[in-house]
Amino acid sequence: MLNIKLTPVMAGLLAAGTLFYATAAAAFCPQTSDATPKGPIALNEQGEFVPGWAKSAVWYQVFPERFRDGDASNNPTVADIAGADPVEEPKVWQVHPWGSDWYKLQPYEVSNGEPELWKHLLRRRYGGDLQGVIDKLDYIKDMGFNAIYLNPVFDAPSLHKYDGASFHHIDPNFGPDPDGDRALMAKENPLDPSTWVWTKADELALELIKQAKQRGIRVIFDGVFNHMGANSFAFQHLKQHQQNSPYKDWFTVHSFKDEKAGTEFSYEGWFGVPSLPEFKEDGNGLVQGPRDYVFAATERWMNPKGKGTEYGIDGWRLDVAFCVAHGFWKDWRGHVKTLNPQAYITAEIVMPPELVKPYLQGDEFDGEMNYNFAFTAAEFMFNPPPHNINATEFDAKLREMRGLYPKGVAYVTQNLFGSHDSNRIGSHIVNRGIGNFRDWGDYFQLSQVGSNPDYNVRKPNDEELRLQKLFVIFQMTYVGAPMVYYGDEVGMWGANDPDDRKPMIWEDIKYEDEVTNPDGSKRPADKVAVNKTLQQHYRKLIQLRNRLPALQLGDFTTLLTDNDKALYGFERHYQQQRVRVILNNSDKPQQVTLNRDQLNWQEQIDQLPVTVSGDKIRLTIPAKWGAVLLAQ
């Protein structure tokens, strides 16, 4: 465990699924397990171990509780949130108005009389559910996304669901019959998968998967296999029956309650947070009890009811994967790939590339949430001195990452910027200069309003949104699978957790202006509405990527690194298709001259004029913008 002192605010946010890493993250999650492959790596005809479809994925990350309320009848009650942080039971509680000013306390919150803003924000529920995701599948498809990563959907009392009460049931409040589902669940034996029932929420998850696949959209679930929540069936039984519980060996228990011996019940919580009891591990990862349970839950969602993998999810995103020993992941991958050889496994490993590499040798994960991609992009496009890099350095860092992993891996990593664990890209740009994103632990706190009162919570202006658009041009044309955090495409903004988890902005919902600061004071009004210009930019670039195989599958060649003009260019080539991408990161228009190669080149974003002069082509790229050239 990291030797740090947790404030109540930090403890609450950690329990909220927040990642807080110091530079020595490995000190918290021991990295002593052996990463050596146990046997030969299974490769396909291309000499790769990654699923081919993942190279053409454009990911959309959905945080279910904050995406869309498709069924108001299943909205949670105060009883449904019991056990989630903050632990104090509210005096008054209700489902929060979807379109309300984010920092403004509602009358029910004022009635609770608590001065700590974080308690109010963590206690809020807006009613997002799986029906809401189903209702917006056509929107997701229209934007061009063909793969969805769902933050946890399993039964849990929190808004984020990283405190799982079970892994084999969807949260009843995400389905149409919460009370009926809980009654069904109470009749089964969690240790015996043959007794597991299919609740209405479970069935709705299968319907979501079915309808997504009908639209050509893949779905992966979030697997949190390092810990469960204090509300979980296993921990609750252990807490009640102590060493007489069949779950006595599931968790890392320091001492059982024994009045004669004078000992209290003491156990290990993830990062010391009591609401997140950690599974016990040996040298090979999870011990037998939780291991068997995770394996059974994995099969349930990949091959539901034994009907076939075409009815199940297409893979997994693995939370705090570096906290579980390599041996478990090697065995678990074998289980997953036996169920579905084309399943995609991606992991959260926020570490320098050389420390990520052992997980991506072919017998654990296919890809990762590529935060190093985000760090590098921020250093080139957003950071002021001294944390900025020039085009040559940008190219070198990208080349290092592409070359670090086995063949095919770079093409399936999830190239993201914002997520549920970072400030949104728009707010990152507004606050550029507060620190360096790559310094994860320090920047994490600097980008939270609870830790940094100087963090600017206002809406991004047009100049700042232009920088976001520049990033999107790069993200949608570079090697790797782009991933967009819900709402970034419509201009949502927000500081780090919990402010990055605001309710999604939809055109059919009326929103109050944001006029309230975190301390309750007032600020100039920020209008909350879909930014259609930004949304159309995302749509155009996503559909451009989907239309051009070279941007999904093509090899990569650097064309241009001009540090004086802040120009960076590269070419993607696949079969007979050639695409050139030029980024102008300077504050003024720049003329670019390239070899023509006896081809005609047409610009694809804005139809910028391309002039031919002998064996050269020339075009002028506006400030903080890019061009995509397609050979004709």
Condensed to tens digits (0 to 9), the pLDDT of residues 385-424 reads 999 999 999 999 999 999 999 999 999 999 999 999 999 9
Q: Token pair for residue 631?
A: 């050979």
pLDDT at 295 over 80: yes
pTM for the predicted model, two decimal places: 0.96
What is the DSSP secondary-structure string of 432-487?
TTSS-TTSHHHHHHHT-TTT-TT---SPP-HHHHHHHHHHHHHHTTSSSEEEEETT
What is the per-residue pLDDT across 574-613, written as a single tens digit (0 to 9) for each? 999 999 999 999 999 999 999 999 999 999 999 999 999 9
The whole-angstrom distance between residue 568's C-alpha and the CA centroid of its chain comes to: 28
pLDDT (0 to 100) of residue 17? 52
Residue 562 has pLDDT above 80, yes or no: yes
- Which of 369, 387, 378, 388 minimizes the C-alpha distance to 427? 378
Does the pLDDT value for residue 119 go beyond 80? yes
The mean pLDDT value of the chain amounts to 94
* Confidence at residue 3, expressed as pLDDT on a 0 to 100 scale: 27
Instruction: Retrieve residue 421's tokens.
Output: 């664990």
Q: What is the mean pLDDT of residues 235-256?
A: 97
Q: Do residues 163 and 156 lie in contact, with contact meaning Cβ atoms separated by under 8 Å?
A: yes
Q: What is the share, in percent, of the chain residues with pLDDT greater than 90?
A: 93
* Residues 483, 538: Cα–Cα separation, whole Å: 12
Residue 39: its pLDDT value, please? 87
Output phi, psi for 31, to 5 deg: -110, 40
Tell me which long-range contacts 603-611 makes (C-beta under 8 A, separation of at least 24).
Answer: 603/627, 603/628, 603/629, 604/544, 604/628, 604/629, 604/630, 605/473, 605/540, 605/541, 605/544
pLDDT at 527 over 90: yes
Mean pLDDT computed over 419-432: 98
In this structure, how many other beta carbons lie within 10 angstroms of the beta carbon of residue 186?
9
Which one is predicted more confidently, 582 or 34?
582
User: Strand order in 590-595's β-sheet?
Assistant: 590-595, 616-621, 611-613
Give me the pLDDT at residue 28, please: 52
Percent of all residues in the chain with a pLDDT value above 70, rounded to a whole number: 95
Please name the residues in contact with 500: beta carbons below 8 A apart, sequence gap of 6 or more: 418, 419, 420, 421, 422, 423, 424, 485, 494
**Which pLDDT band holds residue 38 (cuts at 50, 70, 90)?**
confident
pLDDT of residue 23 exceeding 80, the answer is no
- The H or E element containing residue 203 is helix 200-214
Residue 8 has pLDDT above 90, yes or no: no
Q: What 8-state DSSP symbol labels residue 372?
A: H
pLDDT at residue 101 is higher than 50: yes
Cα-based angle 73, 136, 14 (whole degrees, multiple of 5): 75
Confidence at residue 199, expressed as pLDDT on a 0 to 100 scale = 98
Cα–Cα distance for residue pair 133/445, rounded to 1 Å: 31
